[in-house]
Structures are given as structure tokens and as C-alpha cells.
């Protein structure tokens, strides 16, 4: 492993003892019942506690429900004999990195920080100001936790809205992409979101459940989150229904047909397939007796439920031998013009390119 004096990766918790600041950024997944799974945070704390020293700042960056820093971390530190705000300091600062985004380098993304007490907040501000261009302090660690969940719930709910609008437009015989572009010309009060085959990744589908769970403990039902989840989790099935209709129009069934899924990563230009709707669609098609191939320039192999697929090359023969190509991820380094020209049917759930006059007829290049 290559190391420098500025960055020394290690799995040895004892190495944290001399540090002034300890940042915890471990996974915060969901349990099978969609409840928060804080096992990684708890394990990291258990391993960290024996190595803490006086005056250190502990900053949690894992996305989690409002109250985690105050109600889970602080008591554990205090049980270990620390007096938070006096001889040990504690805060929360949400991680806001956007994987695959070259336009927003990390240091330019404002850093929200909250502390469990005034001294902790001052330390949080000083620490993050050394790495970020702008630090935005809030009055508590809980407010910082909630800010992150607001951001991701906002995205989740707006994607659900546009996914529903896409279904409405289809029933109305309208092109949702045209409608979005038209609405997007309004210079105020509107923000463009785009429909797709469902939501994926380890943040947008997961984080709102952290908030909904916390609210349930307060006897409050997070209705917008519930509705948005229903709409978004239905999208893979909606895509399969639309594909079934397209095949039906050609006198074919899913059973016995061969499909190429183009893009299995949950979003463009990344290799991450966690929670990707493409995996659901692949399994749904397979369960209906279809043969499913995939191509993804970022994902050479894919294992779901102990079955492994290899990305097939995007060659003309492959495109000609499938019954349809299903575009599920809008990676930039794919020759979509060739796909549209060579495949017998393309169902594009991402609007990867505008329609051209040289395109095959609209019933061969269909968009969500
Ligand atoms: N990656 C992102 O784009 C992103 C963006 C916003 C928020 N987040 C949040 O940040 C947190 C971490 O996400 P991630 O994508 O980095 O997860 P990840 O799974 O990619 O990485 C987490 C790291 O934690 C390490 N780890 C697990 N248990 C540990 C322990 N007990 N001690 C030390 N290290 C341990 C793992 O080895 C791994 O290297 C999550 O809460 C996530 O929601 C991530």
C-alpha cells in the first residue's frame, strides 16, 4: 500500500489516539424490515472508545436519523466516562459527495456542521474550514442530521412526482420529456427532475426510511415518504409492463424473448449497482421466461442472488440478435445512435438522446 505523510490508511484503531479529530463515516444501511441498522456505527464506536484521549473531537458523517449523535453516540461516550463538551467533543456533519460528478469538487460543496455543545460546534467549524471553502454551522447536531435527510427526501419525493407524471403523460399520449423541458423554462419556482426506471444507490432509496422510522417512534406517519416510496419502488414493474405492451404490439411475449439491458449501474458514469432498479428489472424479466443480457461499460460482472452475468460487448450482431434493448442507465460513453439504428426495438427509460429525423419510426425507438 502506498502511503505519504499526509494520508496514512490503516485498520489499526490505536492510530487514532494521537489525532485531534476522528471522523466516523461507516455505512448506515437498512435492516430487512427497512429499519435503521446502526451496527456499523456502534461497532466503530466500541472499537474507538478504548483509544480516545482528552480534548479530541469526534465527528459523525454517516447519514442517519435525527438524534443519533445525541441519543446514541453521546450516551455511549458518557458511559465510558467522558464528559462531552468538557473533555471530549462531538458533532455531526453530513457527507454530501455526489459520486461521478466532476462539476462539484468536494471542497467547493458547502459543509453543514452541528455540535452537541458550543465548544464542539466551534471545533467542528475550525476543522472543516481547513478543508472546505464554506462551512455552514447549525444550532445542533440533530439539525445537521435532519438537513441531510431533508436533502435526500426532497430528491426522493421529487423523483417520485416526476415518475408519476411520466405515467400520467403516457396515458395522456404526451411526451413527458417535452413537458419537462417546457416547464423548465420557468425562471423561478420550478426545478427539473427526470423520470427513470426507479431509484437506486445507497442514499436516495435508503435515507428517507431513516427519517420515517424516527417519526414512527414519535407516532407520526411520514406520508410523503410512504407515497414516494410506493411510486418509486413500482417503477421497475412499470417498465416491465410497458415492455410487455411493446412486445405484445409485435405479437410477442416476454417468455422466449431475448433482451439486452443497457446500463445496470444505478446512475450514469458510475459502477455502483447497489439498489439499482436494473437488477429488479433483470430478475422480473427472467422470472417471466425471458433471456436477459446486459452491457455496462462500468460493470464487467454482475452477481444477483448467486447468479452471475458478464457484460456482453455492444456489437452490431448482439444488437441485431435481441428482441429489444432496454436503456436503464444513461452512461455517457455509449454509442446510442448505433444502438437506435441497429436494434429492432429500443425502450429508453432515460431519454439518452434527442429524436433525430434519421431515426427509425417512433414505434422502434420508444421513450418512457
Ligand atoms: N459515498 C457517498 O457518496 C455518500 C454520500 C453521502 C452520504 N454518504 C454516507 O456516508 C456513510 C458511508 O458511506 P460510504 O459510501 O462511504 O460507505 P462504504 O460502504 O463505501 O464505506 C464505508 C467504510 O467503512 C468501513 N467500516 C465499516 N465498519 C467499520 C468499522 N467498525 N471501523 C472502521 N471502518 C469501518 C468499511 O470498511 C468501508 O471502508 C453512509 O452513512 C452513507 O449514507 C455516502
Residue with CA closest to ligand 1 atom 10: 62
CA pair distance 44, 24, nearest whole angstrom: 8
CA pair distance 283, 358, nearest whole angstrom: 34
The whole-model pTM stands at: 0.93
Q: Where are the domains of the chain?
A: 13-139, 160-367
- Tell which atom from ligand 1 comes closest to the C-alpha of 98: 3
- Tell which atom from ligand 1 comes closest to the C-alpha of 62: 41
In the prediction, which pLDDT does 349 show? 98
In the prediction, which pLDDT does 240 show? 98
In the prediction, which pLDDT does 2 show? 57
For residue 246, count other CB atoms closer than 10 A to its CB. Answer: 19
Residue with CA closest to ligand 1 atom 25: 26
Pocket of ligand 1 contains residue 25 by CB under 6 Å: yes
Residue with CA closest to ligand 1 atom 39: 26
**What secondary structure does DSSP assign to 166-178, as a single string?**
HHHHHHHT--HHH
Pocket of ligand 1 contains residue 28 by CB under 6 Å: yes
CA pair distance 169, 175, nearest whole angstrom: 6
By the 8 A CB rule, do 22 and 30 touch?
A: no
Beta bridge partners, 114, equal 92
In the prediction, which pLDDT does 3 show? 57
In the prediction, which pLDDT does 193 show? 98
Backbone angles phi, psi at 149, to 5 degrees: -70, -30
Tell me the CA–centroid distance for residue 257 and ligand 1, in Å: 40
Taking only the tens place, the pLDDT of each residue in 248-299 is 999 999 999 999 999 999 999 999 999 999 999 999 999 999 999 999 999 9
Pocket of ligand 1 contains residue 43 by CB under 6 Å: yes
Are 13-139 and 160-367 the same fold in CATH?
A: yes
**What secondary structure does DSSP assign to 52-102, as a single string?**
--TT-EEEE-S---TTHIIIIIHHHHHHTT--BTTTBEEEE------TT-S
In the prediction, which pLDDT does 355 show? 86
In the prediction, which pLDDT does 100 show? 80
Residue 203 is among the residues annotated as catalytic for this protein: yes
Q: How is domain 160-367 classified at the CATH fold level?
A: Rossmann fold (3.40.50)
CATH class of 13-139: alpha beta
In the prediction, which pLDDT does 101 show? 85
Q: Which parts of the chain sit beneath pLDDT 50?
A: 1
Residue 65 CA neighbour count, 13 Å, CB half: 20
Amino acid at each position: 500500500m502506498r502511503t505519504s505523510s499526509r494520508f496514512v490508511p490503516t485498520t489499526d484503531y490505536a492510530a487514532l489516539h494521537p489525532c485531534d479529530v476522528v471522523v466516523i463515516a461507516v455505512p448506515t444501511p437498512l435492516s430487512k424490515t427497512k429499519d435503521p441498522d446502526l451496527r456499523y456505527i456502534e461497532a466503530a464506536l466500541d472499537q474507538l472508545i478504548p483509544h480516545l484521549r482528552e480534548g479530541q473531537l469526534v465527528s459523525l458523517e454517516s447519514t442517519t436519523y435525527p438524534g443519533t449523535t445525541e441519543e446514541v453516540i453521546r450516551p455511549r461516550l458518557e458511559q465510558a466516562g467522558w464528559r462531552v463538551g468538557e473533555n471530549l467533543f462531538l458533532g455531526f456533519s453530513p457527507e454530501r459527495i455526489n459520486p461521478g460528478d466532476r462539476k462539484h469538487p468536494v471542497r467547493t460543496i458547502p459543509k453543514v456542521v452541528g455540535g452537541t455543545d458550543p465548544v464542539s460546534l466551534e471545533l467542528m467549524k475550525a476543522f472543516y474550514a481547513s478543508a472546505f471553502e464554506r462551512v455552514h454551522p447549525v444550532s445542533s447536531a440533530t439539525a445537521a442530521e435532519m438537513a441531510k435527510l431533508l436533502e435526500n427526501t426532497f430528491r426522493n419525493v421529487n423523483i417520485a412526482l416526476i415518475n408519476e407524471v411520466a405515467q400520467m403523460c403516457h396515458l395522456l399520449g404526451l411526451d413527458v420529456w417535452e413537458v419537462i423541458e417546457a416547464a423548465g423554462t420557468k425562471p423561478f419556482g420550478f426545478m427539473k427532475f427526470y423520470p427513470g426506471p426507479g431509484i437506486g444507490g445507497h442514499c436516495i432509496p435508503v435515507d428517507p426510511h431513516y427519517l420515517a422510522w424516527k417519526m414512527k417512534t414519535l407516532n407520526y406517519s411520514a406520508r410523503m415518504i410512504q407515497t414516494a416510496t410506493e411510486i418509486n419502488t413500482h417503477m421497475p414493474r412499470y417498465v416491465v409492463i410497458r415492455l410487455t405492451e411493446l412486445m405484445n404490439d409485435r405479437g410477442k411475449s416476454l417468455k422466449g424473448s431475448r433482451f439486452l439491458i443497457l446500463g445496470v449501474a444505478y446512475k450514469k458514469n458510475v459502477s455502483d449497482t447497489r439498489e439499482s432498479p436494473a437488477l429488479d428489472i433483470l430478475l422480473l424479466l427472467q422470472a417471466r421466461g425471458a433471456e436477459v443480457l446486459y452491457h455496462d461499460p462500468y460493470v464487467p460482472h454482475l452477481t444477483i442472488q448467486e447468479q452471475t452475468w458478464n457484460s456482453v460487448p455492444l456489437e452490431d450482431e448482439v444488437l441485431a440478435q435481441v428482441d429489444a434493448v432496454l436503456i436503464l442507465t444513461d452512461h455517457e460513453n455509449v454509442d446510442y445512435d448505433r444502438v437506435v439504428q441497429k436494434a429492432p426495438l429500443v425502450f429508453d427509460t432515460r431519454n439518452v438522446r434527442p429524436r433525430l429525423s434519421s431515426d427509425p419510426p417512433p414505434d422502434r425507438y420508444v421513450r418512457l
